[in-house]
Amino acid sequence: MAVSTVLAGARVVLPTGIVENGRVIVEGGRISGSTPEGTPSLDLAGHWVVPGFVDMHNHGGGGASFTSGTVDEVLHGVHTHRLHGTTTAVASFVTGDMDFLGRRAGLLSELAEQGEIAGIHFEGPFISPCRKGAHDATLLRDPDPAEVRKLIDAARGQAKMVTLATELPGGIDSVRLLAEHGVIAAIGHTDATYEQTVEAIDAGATVATHLYNAMPGLGHRTPGPIAALLEDERITVELINDGTHLHPAALELAFHHKGADRVAFITDAMDAAGFGDGMYDLGTLAVEVKDGVARLVEGGSIAGSTLTLDRAFKRAVTIDRLPVESVVRAISANPARLLGIDDRVGSLEPGKDADLVVLDENFDVKGVMRRGTWVVDPQVA
């Protein structure tokens, strides 16, 4: 049941800045602008209240895969991430057979229609064999617009993003198709040149899938896709801030060039997120997770992450020394805007869903609320 309460005394992060000794009023599952008589109050002095996290690139968690799990397993994976503050998540698929991906899209579109997930992201099969990462090379294909259309139709209006190597035959036409249908065209797993990347941005691409990873490095004579993606204000860059995928200097470079409004923290999580080390499958490929790092058994490529967004948040403010307001934009407001759901989530404003996270002074999660219901009961003294 949704609660009616006033969260009082915390540092509240609003779009306008940090409010000391702030108040968040929750009424009927939404944030309210007024306090009904008799509404109970919860003292959160010494804590932070921030918007619920929005993860636009997530493959699973809690031992469950969004690509291959049953509906109950997918829901378990979603709940695992909610326990870590992610109140909104897009289900990402790794490369698979076209018919299989179409069936999965149809199945998970029902969860999107029910509000359990925020949509579907196809990361493959339209990616470069040169930069495939942890994707099955035998299932890759060029981005034929007709096949791209087939997948977004299978998702019944719930396709939010498609990652493509836009330099491949059909790539630019596929970007245009996605833009026309209101689906994010994301440049990733790409071997594109600088010039080819600029062409894709001009055609309508708006996101860089996990910037730096699965693309050529930045060169002083051949700048490649990274330079084009960093310099263009139309592009928002995904960053996996787990200490494995990015050096702190690379993260700082991205924030310096993009500004806080054009960065989105993601997990790129696979099954092991919130679950532990061991052997897993990522699509058709075997993965070993050791010391929290996921790698393919064959070849050793990094295979997604075991990250949860609360860890990304804490690392950003305590290790990377980013301002809390900037991290909130990157982890909540920006992905919500890209997904077209910022009228409901992404910030603590009256009328929006009461999705929020309570953090202590060390930026550890002490409470999670989704749509006015506590997913994690607030643990405050």
**Catalytic residue (choose from 191, 232, 242, 268):** 268
Measured distance CA(42)–CA(54) in Å, rounded? 25
Cα→Cα distances 205→156, 186, 196, 301, 331, Å: 21, 6, 12, 26, 21
Q: How much is the CA Rg of the chain, to the nearest whole Å? A: 20
Measured distance CA(81)–CA(89) in Å, rounded? 8
CA 90 to chain CA centroid, nearest Å: 7
Cα torsion 285, 56, 28, 6: sign: positive
Say how many Å lie between the first and final Cα of the chain, rounded. Answer: 24
Inter-residue contact 169 to 142 (CB < 8 Å): yes
Inter-residue contact 204 to 185 (CB < 8 Å): yes
- Between CA 202 and CA 212, with CA 208 as vertex, the angle to 5 degrees is 125
In this structure, how many other beta carbons lie within 10 angstroms of the beta carbon of residue 46?
Answer: 12
Measured distance CA(272)–CA(134) in Å, rounded? 15
DSSP symbol at 332: I
Tokens encoding 372: 């006015």
Annotated catalytic residue 268: yes
Q: Could you list the beta-strand ranges (E) of 155-221.
A: 159-164, 184-187, 207-208
Strand partners, 88: 54
* Residues with a known catalytic role: 268
